[in-house]
Chains A and B, each alone.
Chain A
Amino acid sequence: MLQLVLFFVFGIIAVAAAVNLLAQRHPINSALSLIVVMASLATLFLLMGAEFLAAIQVIVYAGAIMVLFVFVIMLLNAGEEERTPGSRVAMLLGFPAVVLLAGLLAWTLLTHNPHPAPVELSGRFVGSPTAIAQLLFRDFLLPFEVTSVLILIAIMGAVVLASPAGTTTGPGTPEPPAKREG
């Protein structure tokens, strides 16, 4: 009972913060709303008994990735966004498409699974660090390592894209000093 109440409380907070993320005009408020979404998702994980996942969610998303977001917003000193009327195509096509998609999803779920099993809120979710480690580093070791190589490739791509045009060196190497006139 208590878990159901908490589920709705944090679920509503997560959705409200997500809507707020879109509605806010200042980037820093949007970033902070996203942190609230992450934190409420972590709480939902906790309610399902996946405490390790909850802690990782907070450490990685709220504690590392979002800090970088906030850092970049501070560094660029981004100001308030101006509200534009929005494109007409989005108004005419976008909203009906969203309604159509949502309807299709609901219809598929309801027709193919008319009597869904009650959702286990306090599940006996196998989420201990040991269980997750054995899955990651033994059963799925190859996909895990391949993913890490993929991320490495992404990092290298970012370095190449970020380095000034014409130079093949990374941004870490200092450029040769320009010759002074006279």
Chain B
Amino acid sequence: MLTITTFVVVTVIKIVIALLVLLTAVAYTTWLERKLVGHIQNRWGPQRVGPFGLLQPLADGLKFIFKEDLTPPYVYKTLYIAAPILSLTLALTSISLVPIGNWVTVGGVYTPLEITDVNIGLLIILGITSLGVYGIALAGWSSNSKYSLLGGLRASAQMVSYEIALGLSLVGVLIMSGSLNLREIVDAQGGHMTGWIPRWNIFRGQFVAFFVYLAAAFAETNRVPFDLPEAETELVAGYHTEYSSMKFAMFFMAEYANMITVASIATLLFLGGWHGPVFGPWWLVAILPVFWFALKVFGFIFLYIWIRGTLPRFRYDQLMAFGWKFLFPLAVANVLVTSLIVALQK
């Protein structure tokens, strides 16, 4: 049993590590995106700062800090300042519930590889991400600019619509594992079927749900092909048109942090979490699960960027029709079929 002091110390250490890792991942996701999209478009991408342009995120960060922080006149100041803070805070909070590996013993302390292990972790993550829309909506409204307002309106309509499909796509997985605890959901996916196929949910009939989740997650994070809220050809930059310097960077970081959260949830729910071949000496056994988890998240983010480099943007009415008339019925059908099969098996 942990004493309260050890608990607080361990939790603070974990929070610091999680934030450092997440922010580094955010920085290097931007590097990866610029590099990959560059190669897709037959360019080199960043390559001047450091080897392979690896120090580019650092240069970007310095640039953001030293840029002039401009507050346009006629903005609704309180909310204008609060909006980016809200976005980034919520984006960073949701990662605290994502488990990246099993329980481990470090220095005599037995602790889960996440900041806290909650019974209903998935629901809390959904709750936090559902609040994320306020950052964007308030930014669009408080900027007092038509482009921002249109971007904010589009974002809130889009996120509310796709949240339904997103939530329903997860229900199939929840029915199969019978738990809302992310750790238990992952544990239910260990082992193999018929000898070699891993028992990941995506291979156990949840591939439709995975597709729905994929599409809805792209819309929730406002990424191509659903990046209508910041469509630069029509709206300049959408909801963050009037933002500069670090405030703009906060929106940017929030978007990438949300991408990582979404990729982590996909990994946990559909791709078997940290399960994968584990072998070798004890230190390899300890590291490999975390490595598999990171690899799957990386694969998902790679897919994100790949699609950004490939697909054009939807038109707004197409976006809404796709969400309500295709994804939503598909998700409902998946829930019905899954529950029928699970009920028949019992």
A-to-B contact residues, CB < 8 Å? 28, 32, 35, 51-52, 55-56, 58-59, 62-64, 67-68, 70-71, 73-75, 77, 128-129
Contacts and interface: CB of A to CB of B under 8 A. Distances in A.
Contacts of B127: 55, 58-59, 62-63
B120 A67 contact: no
B120 A52 contact: yes
Contacts, number: 67
B133 interface: yes
B133 A67 contact: yes
A62 B120 contact: no
Contacts of A74: 137, 140-141, 149, 152-153, 156
B120 A59 contact: no
Contacts of A55: 120, 123-124, 126-127
Instruction: Describe B's contact surface by its main secondary structure.
Output: helix
A62 B180 contact: no
Interface centre among A28, A67, A128 (most CB of B within 10 A): A67
A35 B140 contact: no
Contacts of B118: 51
Given A59-B127, A67-B156, A71-B160, 11 more contacts: A28-B138, A28-B141, A32-B79, A35-B134, A51-B119, A52-B123, A55-B127, A58-B130, A62-B127, A63-B131, A71-B157
A52 B180 CA distance: 10
Nearest to B122: A55
Interface of B: 79, 118-120, 123-124, 126-128, 130-131, 133-134, 137-138, 140-141, 149, 152-153, 156-157, 159-160, 163, 180
A59 B126 CA distance: 7
A64 B163 contact: yes
Contacts of B138: 28, 70
B120 A64 contact: no
A71 B153 contact: yes
Contacts of A73: 141
B179 to A, nearest CB: 9
A74 B141 CA distance: 6
Interface centre among A52, A128, A129 (most CB of B within 10 A): A129
A67 B133 CA distance: 8
Nearest to A71: B156
Contacts of A35: 134
A63 B128 CA distance: 8
A169 B134 CA distance: 34
Given A62-B130, A70-B137, A56 B153 contact: no
A67 to B, nearest CB: 5
B160 A68 contact: yes
Given A71-B137, A74-B140, A63 B130 contact: yes
The 3 closest A-B pairs by CB, nearest first: A63-B130, A58-B127, A55-B123
A59 B153 contact: no
Nearest to A62: B131
